[in-house]
Structure 1
């Protein structure tokens, strides 16, 4: 096949993949294995997820279909009604936060190889995986990029809001933030996760994420 035709077909495929990304509902998310007994209440709706962490930590997630792998940006709205205190998000065991929205990536070839057999535990342990964690919490300025105390070089925390209450709409450039965090181009966006964490301060975090959309 001529190189020009190959290039054209690849461009069409990438455009179709990106164009098919769109709203992400919460009706089919599931709680992660490690925290299934934690005192965190997730309330799932078609377009919104409510979370209350009662001195506990837990995570819920959704694996994405290939039609979403090419997403390069995201937007959502979120609110916090009850906040944990300000913490140091770089400190393992002292990094409580109200809400975190995680975007997990794999190289495209690796995503194709493990397609159908993926779960969140394996994704987080995959040495080729990378995770951007957008956080409402901590005692850091907006836009700060911090090393993850749990994921090492495979994860970076991006602070969007310090600890506190209120409501905001967010729009993030996943590709630009990935380059800034990891120094390379992102692979396939294969999973999303939401967590709330209040176990270190033994407080209550109560919030909501809604109208999540990938582009």
Structure 2
């Protein structure tokens, strides 16, 4: 009986609880791409505001091991001001209102790269990234190759360009398998960005209620 109990407790320790929240707190770190251009992020626990004025940057947080086996995610997002429709396949012309990056590594690599910066992760040959986007001149559900990550990243369009509010619920396991062929991988981090530098426009948006399970 004690052995069975130990196995159950171990299982609970290695998978996230149902709809485990991901807090928008001090765990998020900003990665600039230019010395003179960066978005502003207002982290407020359950939500984050994004202000982008002809700028682009990433906010990233590492996920602890209990989240590594996540198979789905859900969140709400809102856009009050956004960028025009762009071609998300075009490097240097792919502005979008909001993007959520889900960063995966093989389980062995995940242990070795604990604490690594988002820049190091996104340039790692073993990393795979699903980028869920609100923006672009594409239909909902379109899956596009990333102009920056090549075969290591896929852009999944959830909303075309425009404003409003929406709730999302994505199947990470299915989308990963369809994009990269599956594998024993860990969800090691999440990033958020707004991108308005190519069109020199403004973004006023927010994300809230991010949960993964």
Show structure 2 runs of 5+ residues with no match.
none
Cα drift, residue 114 of structure 1: 2.2
Post-superposition offset of 1:102 = 0.4
Specify the alignment match of 1:152 in structure 2.
150
Which residue number in structure 1 is paired with residue 195 of structure 2? 197
The structural deviation recorded for 1:39 is: 4.0
Aligned to 2:62: 63
Q: 1:175·1:185 contact (CA, 8 Å) conserved in 2?
A: no
Count how many residue pairs are aligned between Structure 1 and Structure 2. 207
Query: TM-score, length-normalised on structure 2?
Result: 0.91
Give 3-state SS (helix, strand or coil) of 2:21's partner. Answer: coil
Name the CA distance, whole Å, in 1 between partners of 2:53 and 2:81: 11
What is the CA-CA distance between 1:33 and the residue it aligns to? 4.2
**TM-fit CA distance, 1:55:** 0.6
What are structure 1's unaligned runs of at least 5 residues? none
Q: Distance in 1 between matches of 2:162 and 2:121?
A: 31
Alpha-carbon distance between aligned partners in 2 of 1:15 and 1:53, rounded to the nearest angstrom: 40
Encode CA deviations 1:158-185: one digit per residue, 9 max, x unaligned. 0000000000000000000001111123
> Quick check: 41-50 or 18-27, which moved more?
18-27
Does residue 73 (structure 1) correspond to residue 72 (structure 2)? The answer is yes
Query: Which has the larger helix fraction?
Result: 1
1:83·1:165 contact (CA, 8 Å) conserved in 2? yes
